[in-house]
C-alpha cells in the first residue's frame, strides 16, 4: 500500500495535494494575511510564466523574449469577459478564452518567426510583444493607456493552486512524452532531429503554442487578482523578469524554474524593508548566483527522490 | 533502388551541384568521393531532404521523392547519418538510439533493433546511460550510425564517417559499414578519405566542384592514374 502510494509518477500529485492542504490551512486560520497572499499570488503567476517559458526556451531551445505579450493577451481577454460575466464560471471562461487567444496568437506569430534562429528569434518575439502592447494601448475596448479597472476578483488559494499545479504537471507530462523528447532533440541538434524524421517546425510551433497558452493563464490570474490592467505592466522588463527566473533555475529544468521563482520571491519580500537598496541587492544576488552556478540552480536536472537519494549516496561515499 | 537524375542545387546564386546523376542498386556500397567543397555533403543532404533541389529528381524504389519531406523519406526507408556525427549531446546514449526510431510505433521490433545495435556496437551498451556528449569521437560515430539504423533503413546515407578519427578507428568504422551492408542494408557513402572508401565500395563517383567527373567500379578507379594523383596521394 505504501509502495503503491509512493510510486514515482504519483509523487507529484501527492506533493501538490499536500501543498494545497497546507496553504488552505494557513488561509483558513488567517496566518496568510493579504500582504502574504498577494506575494504568494505573484509567486504562483511567476511559476506558471517561468515553467511555460522554460518549455519554449529551455527544452525546445527557442530563445523567446515575448512572454509578457502572451501574458497580456490572457489578462485582457480574461478581464473583458469576467467584467461582463462577473461570476466564477465567467472568470473560468475568461481564463480559458484568454489562454486560447494567447495560444492562437502564438500559432500565428510562431509559424513565420520560428524559422529564425537564436538572436533573430529573440528580436522577432520582442517585437511581437511590443506590437501586442501597442495594440492594447490603442484599442478602445481595453481603455488605452488608462487600462481596465475594477476587474472582478475571483482568485483564491483554491483556483491559484489548481492552475499552478495543473500547469506544472501538464507541462512536465508533455516534456516526458514522445513529443517532448522531439522538442528536446531540436534544442540539442536541429539538423540531426530533422534527419531522423522529426518535423522541427511543427514541434517548435507546438512548444510555442503550449507556452503561450499557459502564459495566457498566468495573465488571466493576474488580471483577476490585481483587478486592474495597464499596457505598461506587460513591457519588455516583464519578459526579462520571466527569463531571469528560467535562466536562474536552470535552462531545461522545471523544478529549477519553480525553485528560482520561490527564491526570487523570498529575496524581494525580505528586501521590502529596504526599498532604496532592494534592486541593488536583487541584482547583486543574481550576479553572485550566476557566477557560482552559471548553469542555473538545477542545471538541466529535475528535483526528484532519485536525485536526493543519489546525493545522499555521494555524501556517504565522501565521508567514508 | 536509389536514383538521382540531373540534380541541381543552388545556395542563393551559387550553383553547388551541377546536374549530377547517380544510382545505387540494392545491396551495393556506392561511394561519392571528392575534395573539400566539391558538393558531397550538399548532394547527400539533398537526397535525404534537408535541402531542396532547384531541378532534377530523386527516386527511391521507383517512387519520386523529390518533393517529400525528410520524415517521409525516413518512413520510406532512407536514413541519413549527418556530417560531424551530430548526436544529441545532453541525452543519454539510449535516448539517442530511441529517438532514431521516432517515427516507428512497433514497440517490440524497436526493442529487437535496439538489441541488434547493441550487439553490433557493444560499447554503446556499456555506455547506454552516459550522456552522448561525453563519448569519444569514435563512439559518437558509432552512436550516430546506430541511431540511423534504429529507423530500420533500406538505404543508409553516410556523410564522412571517418571525419576527425584516428586511422585505427577509421578502419574499425569502415569494417562496421561493411558488415551492416552484408546484413542487407544498401549504403551510399560520402567520403574524403578516398582510399578507405574505395576499398569497401563496389562502385564510386568522383565529384569535383559540383559535377561528377568520373565514375565506375571502385577497383578500376583505385587503379586509375588520375585518382591516384588527385586523391590517393600516389605518383
Cell of A273: 524593508
pLDDT of residue B223: 84
Comparing CB atoms, the residue among B74, B86, B90 nearest residue A192 is B86
pLDDT at A10 > cutoff 80: no
Contacts of B82 in chain A (CB under 8 A): 191-192, 195
Predicted confidence at residue A29, as pLDDT, reads 86
Residue A188: Cβ within 10 Å count: 21
How confident is the model over A127-139, as a mean pLDDT? Answer: 94
Tell me the percentage of chain A whose pLDDT exceeds 90. Answer: 62
Count of A-B CB contacts under 8 Å: 68
Which set of grid coordinates corresponds to residue A287? 550576479
Q: What pLDDT was estimated at residue A290? A: 85
Contact between residue B155 and residue B79 where contact means Cβ atoms under 8 Å apart:
yes
Domain residue extents for chain A: 11-236
Mean pLDDT of all residues in A29-48? 90
Low-confidence stretches of chain B (pLDDT < 50) are: 235
Candidates B52, B99, B105, B149: best to mutate against A (most CBs of A within 10 A) is B99
Q: In this complex, which of A182, A191, A196 lies closest to B100 when CB atoms are compared?
A: A196
For residues B63 and B55, is the Cβ–Cβ distance under 8 A? no
Q: Least CB-CB distance to A191: which of B86, B99, B151?
A: B86
Query: How many Å apart are CA A186 and CA A62, to the nearest integer?
Result: 9
Cell for A12?
507529484
- pLDDT tops 60 at residue A319: no
Q: Is the pLDDT of residue A1 over 50?
A: no
Taking CB atoms and an 8 Å cutoff, what residues of chain B touch A194?
50, 70
B138: helix, strand or coil: helix
Say yes or no to pLDDT of A96 above 80: yes
Give the closest-approach CA distance of A22 to chain B in angstroms. Answer: 37
How far is Cα B97 from Cα B139, in angstroms, rounded to an integer? 13
- Tell me: the pLDDT tens digits for A181-229? 999 999 999 999 999 999 999 999 999 999 999 999 999 999 999 989 9
Tell me the average pLDDT across A270-297. Answer: 83
Name the residue of chain B whose CA is nearest to A186's CA. Answer: B88
CA distance B19 to B5: 7
What does the pLDDT read at residue A279? 80
What does each C-alpha distance from A88 to A24, A41, A91, A152, A153 come to in angstroms? 19, 18, 5, 9, 9
Report in angstroms the alpha-carbon separations of A31 from A15, A264, A273, B10: 21, 22, 20, 69
**Residue of B42, B52, B71, B73 to mutate for A, most A C-beta atoms under 10 A:** B71
Does pLDDT of A67 surpass 70?
yes
Question: What residues of chain A lie within 8 A of the CB of B148, using their CB?
Answer: 195-196
Where does the pLDDT of residue A256 fall: very low under 50, low under 70, confident under 90, or very high at 90 and above?
A: very high
Query: Looking at the partner chain, which of B73, B80, B86 has a beta carbon nearest the beta carbon of A189?
Result: B86
The pLDDT assigned to A320 comes to 35
Mutation test of the interface with chain B: which of A189, A192, A310, choosing the one with the most B Cβ atoms within 10 A?
A: A192
Task: Sort out which chain A residues have CB atoms less than 8 A from B104's CB and list them.
Answer: none
Q: Which of A27-31, A58-62, A134-138, B187-191 has the lowest mean pLDDT?
A: A27-31
> What pLDDT does A12 receive?
78
- Three-class secondary structure assignment of A28-64: HHCCCCHHHHHHHHHHHHHHHHHHHHHHHHHHCCCCC
> Which residues in chain A touch residue B71, judged by CB atoms under 8 angstroms apart?
197-199
| Span of A18-22, A40-44, A214-218, A224-228 with lowest mean pLDDT | A18-22
pLDDT value at residue A238: 92
**Separation of CA A51 from chain center:** 4
Among candidates B70, B71, B89 on the partner chain, residue whose Cβ is nearest the Cβ of A188: B89
In degrees rounded to 5, what are phi and psi of residue B49?
A: 95, 0
Q: Does B86 touch chain A if contact means CB atoms closer than 8 Å?
A: yes
With an 8 Å Cβ cutoff, are B102 and A178 in contact? yes
Domains of chain B: 2-232 (3.40.50.300)
Question: Is residue A243's pLDDT more than 80?
Answer: yes
Q: What is the mean pLDDT of chain A?
A: 88
One DSSP character per residue, chain A reads -HHHHT-GGGHHHHHHHHHHHHHHHHHHHT-S-HHHHHHHHHHHHHHHHHHHHIIIIIIS------HHHHHHHHHHHHHHHHHHS-SHHHHHHHHHHHHHHHHHHHHHHHHHHTTS-HHHHHHHHHHHHHHHHHHHHH-TTTTGGG-EE-------HHHHHHHHHHHHHHHHHHHHSHHHHHHHHHHH-HHHHHHTT--HHHHHHHHHHHHHHHHHHHHHHHHHHH-EE-GGGGSHHHHHHHHHHHHHH-TT-HHHHHHHHHHHHHHHHHGGG-HHHHHHHHHHHHHHHHHH-TT-SSTT----HHHHHHHHHHHHHHH-
Q: How many residues does chain B have?
A: 235
Q: Do the bridges between strand B203-208 and strand B29-34 make them parallel or antiparallel, or are there none, so unpaired? A: parallel
| β-bridge partners, A228 | A149
More confident residue, A317 or A196: A196
Mutate to test the interface with B, among A60, A178, A189, A196 (most CBs of B within 10 A): A196
Measured between CA atoms, the residue of chain B closest to residue A301 is B90
Q: What per-residue confidence (pLDDT) applies to A272?
A: 80
- Per-residue model confidence (pLDDT) at position B111: 93
Predicted confidence band at A3 (pLDDT cuts at 50, 70, 90)? low
Amino acid at each position: 500500500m505504501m509502495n503503491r502510494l509512493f510510486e514515482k509518477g504519483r509523487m507529484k500529485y501527492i506533493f501538490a495535494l499536500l501543498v494545497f492542504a497546507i496553504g488552505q490551512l494557513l488561509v483558513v486560520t488567517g496566518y496568510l494575511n493579504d500582504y502574504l497572499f498577494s506575494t504568494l499570488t505573484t509567486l504562483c503567476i511567476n511559476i506558471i510564466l517561468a515553467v511555460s517559458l522554460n518549455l519554449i526556451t529551455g527544452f525546445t531551445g527557442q530563445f523567446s523574449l515575448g512572454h509578457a505579450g502572451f501574458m497580456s493577451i490572457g489578462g485582457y481577454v480574461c478581464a473583458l469577459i469576467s467584467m461582463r460575466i462577473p461570476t466564477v464560471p465567467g472568470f473560468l471562461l475568461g481564463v480559458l478564452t484568454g489562454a486560447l487567444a494567447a495560444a492562437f496568437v502564438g500559432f500565428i506569430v510562431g509559424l513565420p518567426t520560428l524559422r529564425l534562429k537564436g538572436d533573430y528569434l529573440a528580436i522577432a518575439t520582442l517585437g511581437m510583444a511590443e506590437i501586442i502592447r501597442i495594440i492594447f494601448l490603442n484599442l478602445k475596448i481595453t481603455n488605452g493607456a488608462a487600462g481596465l479597472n475594477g476587474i472582478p476578483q475571483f482568485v483564491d488559494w483554491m483556483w491559484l493552486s489548481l492552475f499552478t499545479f495543473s500547469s506544472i504537471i501538464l507541462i512536465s507530462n508533455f516534456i516526458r512524452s514522445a513529443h517532448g523528447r522531439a522538442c528536446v532533440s531540436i534544442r540539442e541538434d536541429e539538423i540531426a532531429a530533422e534527419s531522423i524524421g522529426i518535423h522541427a517546425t511543427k514541434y517548435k510551433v507546438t512548444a510555442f503554442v503550449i507556452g503561450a497558452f499557459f502564459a495566457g493563464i498566468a495573465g488571466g490570474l493576474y488580471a483577476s487578482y490585481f483587478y486592474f490592467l495597464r499596457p505598461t505592466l506587460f513591457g519588455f522588463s516583464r519578459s526579462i523578469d520571466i527569463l531571469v527566473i528560467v535562466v536562474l533555475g536552470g535552462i531545461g529544468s522545471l523544478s529549477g524554474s519553480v525553485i528560482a521563482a520561490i527564491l526570487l520571491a523570498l529575496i524581494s519580500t525580505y528586501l521590502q524593508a529596504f526599498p532604496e537598496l532592494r534592486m541593488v541587492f536583487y541584482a547583486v544576488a543574481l550576479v553572485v548566483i550566476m557566477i557560482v552556478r552559471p548553469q542555473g540552480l538545477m542545471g538541466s536536472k529535475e528535483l526528484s527522490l532519485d536525485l536526493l537519494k543519489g546525493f545522499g549516496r555521494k555524501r556517504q561515499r565522501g565521508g567514508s | 533502388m536509389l536514383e538521382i537524375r540531373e540534380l541541381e542545387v543552388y545556395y542563393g546564386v551559387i550553383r553547388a551541384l551541377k546536374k549530377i546523376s547517380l544510382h545505387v542498386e540494392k545491396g551495393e556500397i556506392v561511394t561519392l568521393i571528392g575534395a573539400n567543397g566539391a558538393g558531397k555533403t550538399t548532394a547527400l543532404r539533398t537526397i535525404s531532404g534537408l535541402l531542396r533541389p532547384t531541378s532534377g529528381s530523386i527516386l527511391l524504389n521507383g517512387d519520386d521523392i523529390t518533393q517529400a519531406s525528410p520524415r517521409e523519406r525516413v518512413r520510406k526507408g532512407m536514413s541519413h547519418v549527418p556530417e560531424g556525427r551530430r548526436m544529441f549531446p545532453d541525452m543519454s546514449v539510449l535516448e539517442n538510439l530511441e529517438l532514431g526510431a521516432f517515427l516507428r510505433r512497433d514497440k517490440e521490433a524497436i526493442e529487437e533493433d535496439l538489441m541488434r545495435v547493441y550487439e553490433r556496437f557493444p560499447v554503446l551498451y556499456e555506455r547506454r546511460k552516459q550522456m552522448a556528449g561525453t563519448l569519444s569521437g569514435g563512439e559518437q560515430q558509432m552512436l550516430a550510425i546506430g541511431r540511423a539504423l534504429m529507423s530500420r533503413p533500406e538505404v543508409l546515407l553516410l556523410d564522412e564517417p571517418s571525419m576527425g578519427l584516428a586511422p585505427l578507428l577509421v578502419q574499425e568504422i569502415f569494417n562496421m559499414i561493411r558488415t551492416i551492408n552484408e546484413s542487407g542494408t544498401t549504403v551510399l557513402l560520402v567520403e574524403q578519405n578516398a582510399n578507405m572508401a574505395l576499398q569497401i565500395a563496389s562502385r564510386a563517383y568522383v565529384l569535383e566542384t559540383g559535377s561528377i567527373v568520373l565514375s565506375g567500379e571502385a577497383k578500376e578507379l583505385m587503379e586509375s592514374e588520375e585518382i591516384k594523383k588527385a586523391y590517393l596521394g600516389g605518383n
